[in-house]
Amino acid sequence: MAKPEPLPGFENRVLAALPQDEYDRLKNSMQVFQLQRGTILHEPGRPMSRVYFPRTAVASMVTTMEDGSTVEVATVGNEGLVGLPVFLGTDSMSFQVFIQINGDAVALPAPLPRETSSNGGALRPLLARYTQALLSQIAQSGACSMLHPIDQRCARWLLMSHDRVPGDDFSLTQEFLSQMLGVRRATVTTAASILQRAGYIRYRRGHIQIADREGLESASCECYRVIRSEYERLIG
Amino acid sequence: MAKPEPLPGFENRVLAALPQDEYDRLKNSMQVFQLQRGTILHEPGRPMSRVYFPRTAVASMVTTMEDGSTVEVATVGNEGLVGLPVFLGTDSMSFQVFIQINGDAVALPAPLPRETSSNGGALRPLLARYTQALLSQIAQSGACSMLHPIDQRCARWLLMSHDRVPGDDFSLTQEFLSQMLGVRRATVTTAASILQRAGYIRYRRGHIQIADREGLESASCECYRVIRSEYERLIG
DNA sequence: TGGCTTTTGTACGCTCCCGTACAGCCGCCG
DNA sequence: CGGCGGCTGTACGGGAGCGTACAAAAGCCA
């Protein structure tokens, strides 16, 4: 299962699926943002003022518990968008969303141009199918973290990021990864060492490189394939 | 946090939120099913022929891994429906859905009457908000099972079922509950004993009674409240 | 170049839950 | 009313990951 081909100009896949005229109509309202790791795109409960369509950036949706511990519930990259609630009838959701991997994203203002959000356009059915794909992703990764050991989940996470990023490497600390996976930093160190010793990845001080993608896939659990094929079925 | 008031006639809450005329238009296509525990409402990948709106029945969405192990990803009762994909643009999803607690449900044929699924009606925005609530539920319970000990999760599960069922008791074996929570049956026994000794629940041979709801809530983790308040915000 | 900060490696005891196994018990059905 | 099958209680060793702690190395900045 090869890494997905990047779109020309590293476009967002949802926007790229729009018919030309609809895309053109939206173009005037679009704004491009360079986003740095840690930038917060949405705080739980706060109204959203923009909808972000990542191009090379990758975002994380996380829940925060009362004791402060956090877990990632989903990854959003160029295959999707941040701001589904805007289409689902509210203007906020209960997760925090922030940038995980530096890159850029296209944004639209949150109360979208009427013609776009109403029926008849191509955007709405696209978003509906993306919603279902996201739902599957969240469910599958939830199940995954209950049933599969940390090194497999680690491999899965790296593959999913790799799919959403231009090259073969990106910046990432083990500390950060541990928060995404909901485990200790030390646990990530062990898992990553295994993958590194096997030659699947290489990393040094906050920077990681996917060296052998096929190997990494073999080290991951089935969940990577399940999620990916669901995305392909629904929005591929 | 008291148990939600049952609707008159134990109606499904989504259908009950429809304006009278829209409800009446659908009424002709409705069919009532008595559903027994174990009845399968949807197999992964298979096209859905009906959309089910549970009234007193409760259903579970589960993922099944390649090795056969299963985990519940969501519970659906009178607050929602089984068959969202029909509204999201496909006709199937990647989970299995089956009946968890005996009861009845109203069903509509899967390619819904056109006037209903198109825009302008009251149903579609309702479903959109339910979709978001379901998404939050799935995400929160995923995070929950990573971070919270089994007895708290057990209490949460019981509360969520209690909310969706007419009385204070329902039939449930520890074996079944263990599959829902993704743990060993023996682990459930220990967790349930704790709750029973505290006087929160009473059970005997496949039958459980909620004896002290408030106590049970105190034994549950925050996730119950989080999920419930998100439902109230979105479709309350 | 040298020092400081950030990141990574590793260790140790501990807890929760697993896998497995078996015993006891309830309640239905013959 | 007795047996059988399904449900529940309990036990024991094992393993994965936790909390904590400290050391080493890599890069940044002065």
Q: Which of B87, B119, B182 sits opposite A119 (nearest CB)?
A: B119
Mean pLDDT of A77-84: 97
Give the model's confidence band at A110: pLDDT under 50 very low, under 70 low, under 90 confident, else very high: confident
Stretch among A82-86, A116-120, B151-155 having the lowest mean pLDDT: A116-120
Residue A115, pLDDT above cutoff 60 = no
Q: What percent of chain B has pLDDT over 70?
A: 97
pTM (2 d.p.): 0.95
Residue B9: the pLDDT is 83
Residue contact B143–A182, C-beta within 8 A: yes
pLDDT top residue among A43 and B120: A43
Place of tokens 């060993």: B184
Residues of chain B in contact with residue A135, where contact means CB-CB under 8 angstroms, are: 93, 131, 134-135, 138
One-letter-per-residue 3-state SS of chain A:
CCCCCCCHHHCCHHHHCCCHHHHHHHHCCCEEEEECCCCEEECCCCCCCEEEEECCCEEEEEEECCCCCEEEEEEECCCCCECHHHHHCCCCCCCEEEEEECEEEEEEECCCCHHHHCCCCCHHHHHHHHHHHHHHHHHHHHHHHHHCCHHHHHHHHHHHHHHCCCCCEEECCHHHHHHHHCCCHHHHHHHHHHHHHCCCEEECCCEEEECCHHHHHHHCCHHHHHHHHHHHHHHC
Residue A9: the pLDDT is 84
Residues of chain B in contact with residue A182, where contact means CB-CB under 8 angstroms, are: 143, 146-147
Q: Which of B69, B74, B87 sits opposite A147 (nearest CB)?
A: B69
Q: Whole-number Å distance, CA B119 to C1' D4?
A: 59
By C-alpha to C1' distance, D11 is nearest to B186
Using CB atoms within 10 Å of the CB of residue A221, give its burial: 0 to 12 exposed, 13 to 18 middle, 19+ buried.
buried
Mean pLDDT of A115-132: 81
Give the model's confidence band at A236: pLDDT under 50 very low, under 70 low, under 90 confident, else very high: confident
Q: How far is CA A219 from CA A137, A160, A224, B198, B234, in A?
A: 19, 13, 10, 44, 40
d(CA A131, CA A81): 10
Q: CB neighbours of B175 closer than 8 A, spacing ≥ 6?
A: B185
Which bases of strand C sit closer than 7 A to a protein CB? 6-12, 16-21, 26-27
Q: What percent of chain A has pLDDT over 90?
A: 86
d(CA B119, CA A113): 17
Residue A225: the pLDDT is 97
Tokens of A137: 């992703």
Stretch among A32-46, B102-116, B127-141, B164-178 having the lowest mean pLDDT: B102-116
pLDDT for A135-194, tens place per residue? 999 999 999 999 999 999 999 999 999 999 999 999 999 999 999 999 999 999 999 999
Residue A207, pLDDT above cutoff 90 = yes
Residues 194-223 of B with CB under 7 A from strand D: 196, 203-206
pLDDT for B173-200, tens place per residue? 999 999 999 999 999 999 999 999 999 9
Residue A151: the pLDDT is 96
Give the model's confidence band at A201: pLDDT under 50 very low, under 70 low, under 90 confident, else very high: very high
Q: How far is CA B94 from CA A227, A233, B52, B68, B226, in A?
A: 10, 11, 17, 15, 26
pLDDT top residue among A167 and A118: A167
Per-chain mean pLDDT for chain B: 93
Mean pLDDT of A86-112: 92
Residue A218, pLDDT above cutoff 80 = yes
Mean pLDDT of B47-74: 95
Mean pLDDT of B120-131: 90
d(CA A181, CA A191): 11
pLDDT top residue among B33 and B114: B33
Residues of chain A in contact with residue B93, where contact means CB-CB under 8 angstroms, are: 132, 135-136
Residue A120: the pLDDT is 67
Q: What percent of chain B has pLDDT over 90?
A: 85
Q: Which of A65, A89, A142 sits opposite B142 (nearest CB)?
A: A142
Residue B31, pLDDT above cutoff 70 = yes
Q: Is B207 helix (H, G, I), strand (E, B) or coil?
A: strand
Residue A119: the pLDDT is 55
Residue A50: the pLDDT is 95
Residue B137, pLDDT above cutoff 90 = yes
Give the model's confidence band at A99: pLDDT under 50 very low, under 70 low, under 90 confident, else very high: very high
Length of chain B: 236
pLDDT for B198-216, tens place per residue? 999 999 999 999 999 999 9
Residue B119: the pLDDT is 55
Q: Is the CB of B47 under 7 A from strand D?
A: no
Q: Whole-number Å distance, CA B107 to C1' D11?
A: 48
Residue A122: the pLDDT is 87
**Does the beta carbon of A131 lie under 8 angstroms from any beta carbon of chain B?**
yes
Per-chain mean pLDDT for chain A: 93
One-letter-per-residue 3-state SS of B6-71:
CCHHHCCHHHHCCCHHHHHHHHCCCEEEEECCCCEEECCCCCCCEEEEECCCEEEEEEECCCCCEE
Mean pLDDT of B156-181: 96
- The β-bridge partners of B203 are B208
